[in-house]
Structure 1
């Protein structure tokens, strides 16, 4: 076997022709000098060629101050009241006044009437009241001319029959006319401390206004029907 020379090995590896360096590589000192020259040239470039040197101007961003809007509080106007609200506001709570209290014999029914009678026909008023009680088959064992709410609360009854506007306002704590009370009970039942209440005209009023006796009779029948269903 013949020995291969270096050139033969390079040729076999396809590394020929061999490139040879014709010039000397710069020494470390030469590289340092070149770098120094490059730095000086960079520093002198803006002065020698100002047209070729880019000008960098500082960017000043505008200062945006927060806009403080004035606080405007809404003006709240009072709500307008309709007719029903006006009626409720007009229904002022009134302190209870003394009234006449009658309790039926079976203690199921309490009659509340105006204590003062302005009519001179007192006897006729009492006669008419007696006839009303007979018409509904009622008789009373207790008759108190100046009773109070505490007196009424002492008796255990099932229903309260109120006769007269003043007695109704005193018992229920509102100012309404007798017709308003009657219309109200036609729409929905009226109660006093859980007890059903039927409101009708005072015997003195019926004595002067006989045309209203039919309405009073309807109220009495309503009271009887309520008692029967209790």
Structure 2
């Protein structure tokens, strides 16, 4: 009992492990890694050396100018009348005038497929013919886009317009009122017939 209560000497740990544990731990130094720092040269940028790209303004071209550059091809309209011979008399609406014109066509003794009696209003640029008879001063002025004042100044002559030879003569109403004018009309037609014979020779 007393032995159990007596103070025993302090037990000292002499094992190497204990000494190691009792020694203060000194942290080992980490191996140093040498790094090489490369100094980059400092470039001074001045305001004068900086070039700022400016935006090029977009110019909108005029649409009318673009359309003007694209010109459509020139296409000539088809002639309304195409025939070697054209008898133009738009003012003959009555039966006697129609009959008189038919007699004139027969008197020319031309092939039927070479003669056209046209009684609708047309102009020179709407026909393609070689020989043309224009009945009446008013019809002739409209057809030729002319301003002849008197029939006497233009009839009895062979006229030309481009490749077309033509005469201007009395209209059927004038011939019906004065049958003597039929002779003058026939004289005018003979001018064209003579031109045709000369070209055929």
* C-alpha RMSD of matched pairs (Å): 2.4
Pair 1:191-2:160 in alignment: yes
Q: Assess if the C-alpha contact under 8 Å between 2:86 and 2:117 holds in 1.
A: no
User: Which residue pairs with 1:26 in the alignment?
Assistant: none
Which stretches of structure 1, 4 residues or more, deviate above 6 A after TM superposition? Answer: none
1:13-32 alignment, distance < 5 Å: none
Aligned residues: 116
In structure 2, distance between residues paired with 1:129 and 1:142: 8
Aligned to 2:194, what secondary structure does the other structure show?
A: helix
Q: Assess if the C-alpha contact under 8 Å between 2:133 and 2:166 holds in 1.
A: yes
Q: Assess if the C-alpha contact under 8 Å between 1:102 and 1:142 holds in 2.
A: no
Q: Assess if the C-alpha contact under 8 Å between 2:124 and 2:143 holds in 1.
A: yes
Could you say if the C-alpha distance between residues 182 and 143 of structure 1 is closer, same or farther in structure 2, counting changes exceeding 3 Å?
closer
1:132 to 79, 83, 104: 104
Could you say if the C-alpha distance between residues 132 and 142 of structure 1 is closer, same or farther in structure 2, counting changes exceeding 3 Å?
closer
In structure 1, distance between residues paired with 2:173 and 2:81: 16
Aligned to 1:221, what secondary structure does the other structure show?
A: helix
Aligned to 1:229, what secondary structure does the other structure show?
A: helix
In structure 2, distance between residues paired with 1:163 and 1:136: 15
User: Which residue pairs with 1:176 in the alignment?
Assistant: 149
1:214 to 183, 193, 196: 183
Give the Å deviation of 1:132: 0.6
Structure with the bigger percentage of helix: 1
Could you say if the C-alpha distance between residues 142 and 196 of structure 1 is closer, same or farther in structure 2, counting changes exceeding 3 Å?
closer
Pair 1:229-2:201 in alignment: no
1:151 to 122, 126, 135: 126
Give the Å deviation of 1:221: 1.4
Structure 2, gaps ≥5 residues long: 1-79
